[in-house]
Structure 1
Amino acid sequence: MAETFVLVHGAWHGGWCWAAVINQLERLGDRAYAVDLPGHGMNRADRAKVTLDSYVNSVAEFIERHDLKDVVLAGHSLGGITISGVAAKIPARIKRVVWVTAMVALDGQPMVNPAKSPLAAAADSFPERSNTIEMMGKEFLDGLTNDMAPALKEYVMSALGPQPLAPLLAPVPMAPYFATGIPSSYIVCEDDQTPVPGAPNWHPHFSSRLRNPTLKFVKSGHEVMFTHPVECARALHELARGD
């Protein structure tokens, strides 16, 4: 039976980042859609007005507008703070939620504390209240792209757009998601070297915040959609089927 996927991108990205994974999922007989969150990709929403609620609402509305059911909802990186809200908003349409080397919030806590983040304070003063990938610094960029060939790194870095600040500062309600009882999964990218404040690795720092998640391991860095799309698609496909 064909599975239905809705894929949510992370910070600085757009739906375009999932193109190779979608191609591979379709080869496996599945249907897959990628959304552009407000202020990203072809969604030209005013970045200064983008919020976490607008992220959640845009994905939920996409699923409802296309009348999608039994959806496997997957989010990469910062997309992790959107997918929990979407699942809590339209639980009857969601079959499983998959964090792809993604952030999992503590209930009621924001992902960034502005009092402890000079970068957030700086972005807050800009008209768009956004920051660019270049502002993150060499250590972050090296960790993000550690397993990319030079040409691929150049392409990805040139394609990334500004990231609105407000979604990072918003408290993320996880309790409503947990109350749905929807199964959770986490794709662990074993070579992810993207810095995590206060922790050495994304797994188990973030994955341990879920309740009894099923895990899939991929030998990849953070940008698995670009460097290992075949393995990423296969992991998503197997999780959807309960394998």
Structure 2
Amino acid sequence: MTETFVLVHGAWHGGWCWAAVINQLERLGDRAYAVDLPGHGMNRADRAKVTLDSYVNSVAEFIERRDLKNVVLAGHSLGGLTIPGVAAKIPARIKRVVWVTAMVALDGQPTIDAATTPLAAAIDSMPERSITIEMLGKEAIDGLTNDMAPGLKEYVMAALGPQPLAPLLAPVPMAPYFATGIPSSYVVCEDDHMPVGGAPNWHPYFSSRLRNPTLKFVKSGHEVMLTHPVECARALHELASGD
């Protein structure tokens, strides 16, 4: 059975990061699309005006414009904040939602509490209200690239762009997504060393916030779609098929 995937990137990335996964999904007989969220990749929206709602609306409109149905909606990393909103907005078009080593919010809570995060105030005063990964320091860069070959690391670091702050400060409504009853899945990257919220692992720290998710495990670091695209595509395909 041919599956239809819409792939949502995470912080600093663009739709470009899914290229190899799309190639592999097509080899498996599926259709796959990657979006550029506002202010990312080829989407030249003003980063200072980007919000979580604009992320959600852009993906929902992408799906509606193409009249896509039975969509397997997958989000990587920060993309996990966008995908539940999309599913709640257009539930009749969504078959399954997959968090790919991605953030799962607590209902009504933001990713970053601006009141207790000094860096947030500094970013908020910048013209683009955005942050680069370099601003987070060596630990974040090492965590992001821990299993990359030198050439791939060089390419990825050159391709990453600024990340707008506002989506990280916005409360994320999860209850509307859970109310849809759309099945949830989580791709667990066993070597994900990207630091997050003081937790040692993305699984089960985030995955446990979902309701009865199906899990797939991949021996990979955080950037699974770039370092292990074959395994990432296979996991997505099997989750979509219910395997």
- State whether TM-score is above 0.5: yes
TM-score range, shorter chain: over 0.9
Distance in 2 between the 1:163 and 1:156 partners? 15
Which stretch shows the higher mean deviation, 198-207 or 26-35?
198-207
Find the counterpart in structure 2 of residue 240 from structure 1: 240
Find the counterpart in structure 2 of residue 2 from structure 1: 2
AA of the residue aligned to 1:39? G
Distance in 1 between the 2:22 and 2:202 partners? 24
Secondary structure at the residue paired with 2:143? helix
Secondary structure at the residue paired with 2:158? helix
AA of the residue aligned to 2:31? R
Secondary structure at the residue paired with 1:74? strand
Find the counterpart in structure 1 of residue 28 from structure 2: 28
1:200 positional shift? 1.1
Distance in 1 between the 2:199 and 2:143 partners? 14
Distance in 2 between the 1:138 and 1:196 partners? 14
Find the counterpart in structure 2 of residue 78 from structure 1: 78
Find the counterpart in structure 1 of residue 37 from structure 2: 37
Count of residues in Structure 1 that have an aligned counterpart in Structure 2: 243
Find the counterpart in structure 2 of residue 129 from structure 1: 129
1:198 positional shift? 2.8
Find the counterpart in structure 2 of residue 217 from structure 1: 217
Distance in 1 between the 2:45 and 2:161 partners? 13
Q: How does 1:136-147 map to 2 (within 5 A)?
A: 136-147=136-147
1:88 positional shift? 0.2
1:157-206 deviations in Å (ceiling 9; x for gaps): 00000000000000000000000000000000000000111311100000
Distance in 1 between the 2:238 and 2:100 partners? 14
Secondary structure at the residue paired with 2:103? coil
1:136 positional shift? 1.1
1:51-110 deviations in Å (ceiling 9; x for gaps): 000000000000000000000000000000000000000000000000000000000000
Which stretch shows the higher mean deviation, 25-34 or 136-145?
136-145
AA of the residue aligned to 1:153? K
Find the counterpart in structure 1 of residue 187 from structure 2: 187
Identity of aligned residues (%): 89
1:118 positional shift? 2.1
Structure 1 residue runs of 4+, over 2 Å off? Answer: none
Find the counterpart in structure 2 of residue 161 from structure 1: 161
Q: Is the 8 A contact 2:74 2:100 kept in 1?
A: yes
AA of the residue aligned to 2:5? F
> Structure 2 length as normaliser, TM-score?
0.99
Q: Is the 8 A contact 2:85 2:173 kept in 1?
A: yes
* 1:102 correspondence with 2:72: no
Secondary structure at the residue paired with 1:73? strand
AA of the residue aligned to 1:59? V
1:122 positional shift? 1.4
Q: Is the 8 A contact 2:114 2:120 kept in 1?
A: yes
Find the counterpart in structure 2 of residue 50 from structure 1: 50
Find the counterpart in structure 2 of residue 88 from structure 1: 88
1:140-167 deviations in Å (ceiling 9; x for gaps): 1111110001111010000000000000
Find the counterpart in structure 2 of residue 226 from structure 1: 226
* 1:13 correspondence with 2:40: no
1:115 positional shift? 1.7
Gaps spanning 5+ residues in structure 2: where? none
